[in-house]
Amino acid sequence: MGFIPVNEPLLNGNEKKYLCECIDTGWISSEGPFVKEFEKKLSASVGRAYGVAVSNGTAALEIAVRALGIEPGDEVIMPTFTIISCAAAVTKAGAVPVFVDSDLKTWNMNVDEIEAKITDRTKAILVVHIYGLPVELEPVLALAEKYGLKMIEDAAEMLGQTYKGLPCGSFGDLSIFSFYPNKHVTTGEGGMVVMNDAGLAERCRSLRNLCFQRDVRYVHDEIGYNYRFTNLQAALGLAQIEQLEEAVKRKRAMGRYYTKKLREIGGLMLPLETTAYADNIYWVYGMVLEQNIPIDNKGMQKLLAEKGIGSRTFFWCMHEQPVYRKTGMFLGEVYPNAEYLARKGFYIPSGLALTKMQMDKVIEAIKDIMKQMV
Ligand SMILES: *Cc1c(COP(=O)(O)O)cnc(C)c1O
């Protein structure tokens, strides 16, 4: 068995057929008919009225932040344990991210810390569902309502997941998705902003397309982006969404299998299987080394690589990012749980193309490594 990559996507449905259709008809740009069809299907699958497809999930976050009118002087509350795209969308708009720590069990933002962080400059809360379980959303929605705040839901990792039976991607003013190859639906690169408000949808479409005016094409009131999504990407997306239900089932089965086999190994904190509001979807299968284990996640990654297994360390906290620290931002801020996850957490091969034989090899490797640690 060769090296087992941390992710390999599954492209065994209508991907080739729809892509050939693009080539046969000549529709390859963002003007092609698959784009609107994919926007409609994906947004409908999470119960949203509108979808605006963009070039990637990072672009979706930038557009969401801009569309809500977040600007210099504003503060946006978000987890420190997340991907840079979240903080970057806020700082690029000239606004300030205000962080909360993580919950050690779910690895999501600790929603109990949000209210104390609200000031008269707070404009929005950005919730990010991390790795497999959604954020506990009800208290966040209640705070947004109470203080008149906007809410953005980063559901990039959670397409197909639900919170109390309602789809992730249906909460707050805007939700975003990514279609990077490790996401449940992939278009190679791609993303989407989904919403129920027609005005917000129009605003996102405008920002995606350089803020061209409707009537006078080359005259601009505002600087937008070229974050357009191509018909080729949409062709992949349409084929992929046909397989979403199957993909989610597969992820859950893989997650449960890993847990069953890894449960007896000491020194590892495995993902929570279920909470009061959702069952884990195992977007990636992560785990965290316990305090007494003498190596960190980078050491673990190296040991796994030596055994032919790809892995990734968890996110590095936003408040510890050199790019922000060197400008004096977030100095002295401490979020112990998030810092712990960032140093001790890692995830193992969890892509949809992973075979049972490969999973067994991963399990054996972890057992071997951990035997020497505890
Ligand atoms: C993948 C991801 C993104 C960014 O998406 P890209 O398409 O890679 O730009 C944003 N947020 C979260 C939580 C993600 O997992």
- pLDDT average, residue stretch 274-283: 98
Q: With pLDDT > 90 as the criterion, what percentage of the chain qualifies?
A: 97
How confident is the model at residue 245, as a pLDDT?
Answer: 97
Show Cβ contacts of residue 216 under 8 Å, excluding neighbours closer than 6 positions.
Answer: none
How confident is the model at residue 67, as a pLDDT?
Answer: 98
Query: What's the start-to-end Cα distance of the chain, in Å?
Result: 28
Residue 291 has pLDDT above 80, yes or no: yes
Pocket perturbation via mutation, ligand 1, pick of 65, 85, 159, 312 by most ligand atoms within 8 A of CB: 85
Average pLDDT, the chain: 97
Residue 185 has pLDDT above 80, yes or no: yes
How confident is the model at residue 260, as a pLDDT?
Answer: 97
How confident is the model at residue 353, as a pLDDT?
Answer: 95
Kindly give the distance from the C-alpha atom of residue 156 to the centroid of ligand 1, in angstroms, as a whole number: 6
pLDDT digits (tens, 9 = 90+) for 69-91: 999 999 999 999 999 999 999 99
pTM, 2 dp: 0.98
pLDDT band (50, 70, 90) for residue 355: very high
Residue 217 has pLDDT above 90, yes or no: no
Kindly give the distance from the C-alpha atom of residue 303 to the centroid of ligand 1, in angstroms, as a whole number: 27
- pLDDT average, residue stretch 102-114: 98
Integer Cα distance of 281 and 159 in angstroms? 9
- pLDDT average, residue stretch 159-166: 98
Integer Cα distance of 199 and 205 in angstroms? 10
Integer Cα distance of 251 and 262 in angstroms? 16
pLDDT band (50, 70, 90) for residue 215: confident
How confident is the model at residue 295, as a pLDDT?
Answer: 97
Residue 92 has pLDDT above 80, yes or no: yes
How confident is the model at residue 216, as a pLDDT?
Answer: 83
Which residues lie across from 226 on neighbouring strands? 209
Kindly give the distance from the C-alpha atom of residue 312 to the centroid of ligand 1, in angstroms, as a whole number: 15
- Residue where the block lists tokens 């209640």: 142
User: Which residue's CA is the closest to the ligand 1 atom numbered 13?
Assistant: 156
pLDDT band (50, 70, 90) for residue 213: confident
Look at 33-42, 178-187, 216-225 and tell me which has the smallest mean pLDDT: 216-225
Residue 159 has pLDDT above 90, yes or no: yes
DSSP string for 210-221: TT--SSSTT--S
Ligand 1 atom nearest to 130, measured from its CA: 13
Is 258's C-beta closer than 6 angstroms to any atom of ligand 1?
no
Residue 189 has pLDDT above 90, yes or no: yes
Is 153's C-beta closer than 6 angstroms to any atom of ligand 1?
no
Nearest to 282 by CA among 249, 244, 241: 249
Residue 374 has pLDDT above 80, yes or no: no
Nearest to 12 by CA among 253, 239, 289: 239
DSSP state of 102: B
pLDDT band (50, 70, 90) for residue 214: confident
pLDDT band (50, 70, 90) for residue 41: very high
User: Which residue's CA is the closest to the ligand 1 atom numbered 11?
Assistant: 156
Ligand 1 atom nearest to 179, measured from its CA: 7
pLDDT band (50, 70, 90) for residue 327: very high
Integer Cα distance of 283 and 285 in angstroms? 7
Question: How far, in Å, are 35, 166, 215, 343 from residue 271 at the CA level?
Answer: 36, 22, 52, 16
